[in-house]
Amino acid sequence: MRKDTDNLRLATMDDIPALQGLIALSATTLSVNDYIPEEITSLNSFVFGVDKTLIEDQTYFVIERNNLIIACGGWSQRAKLFGGDQFEGAKEILLDPATDAAKLRAFFIHPVCARQGLATKLLKHCEAEALKHGFTKIELMSTLPGISFYKSQGFVGKQEAVHELQNGVKVKFLEMVKDPIMQPELKVNVKPIFNSWLGFNRNTAILASLAVVTIGLGLGVGVACVRGRTMSNKPSP
């Protein structure tokens, strides 16, 4: 499937059933190398899920392919750091962009579509949205499988966290931060700078090329002449 057919849009309340299925599938499949089955089951039951506040705030997004949701993720200007509706957090407390970090929230990718750039696409979009709202830094609570991805995107570990869930199972996370949110990309058109530096226009460049060829020919002739002179100085047999 061509990636240019993917559609990134705001999540709606109508998406919730599909999102719940995607989140459970993603967490179950992509976490098997980092969490034991008991931890994964507990995460799905008590932590992972849709946070409706993100949808209401219009800060949660989905990527569709062939009208199917294959990825989701968002950001928040509220204090709650992670977890769905069933996971308690200070979700009503609004953050101050001047002093607080925005929160990156609930990134999940369909296992079949993993490593296709979907998480990066969502991340860049969320970072841009947070910047529009005045935030200059962003933080998240990463599960163990996500750490390497977030590091590749400029996040650094802030502190390890162990959460004991309602059933007594303890699960490890890593709080991460990116400050500033994104470094502006430096896009430089090298050609004008190169031409300006050399003081060349097209005609000058042509003349310079001819000069190089002439010098090369001259050197070649010079070498040949030296060889000829050397040969002529050798005694005849």
Half-sphere exposure of 26 (CA within 13 A, CB side): 25
Q: Are 69 and 18 in contact (CB under 8 A)?
A: yes
Which residues have a Cβ under 8 Å from the Cβ of 138 and sit 6 or more positions away? Answer: 75, 101, 102, 103, 104, 126, 127, 130, 177, 178, 179, 181
- pLDDT truncated to tens, each residue of the chain (237 aa)? 555 689 999 999 999 999 999 999 999 999 999 999 999 999 999 999 999 999 999 999 999 999 999 999 999 999 999 999 988 765 678 999 999 999 999 999 999 999 999 999 999 999 999 999 999 999 999 999 999 999 999 999 999 999 999 999 999 999 999 999 975 454 545 454 444 444 544 444 433 443 433 334 343 433 333 343 344 444 333
**237: exposed, middle or buried (C-beta count within 10 Å: 0-12, 13-18, 19+)?**
exposed
SS3 71: strand
Q: Tell which CATH classification among 2.60.40.10, 3.40.630.30, 3.90.226.10, 2.60.120.1440 matches the domain 3-178.
A: 3.40.630.30
Domain ranges of the chain: 3-178, 190-233
Query: In a 3-state reduction of DSSP, which class is residue 227?
Result: helix
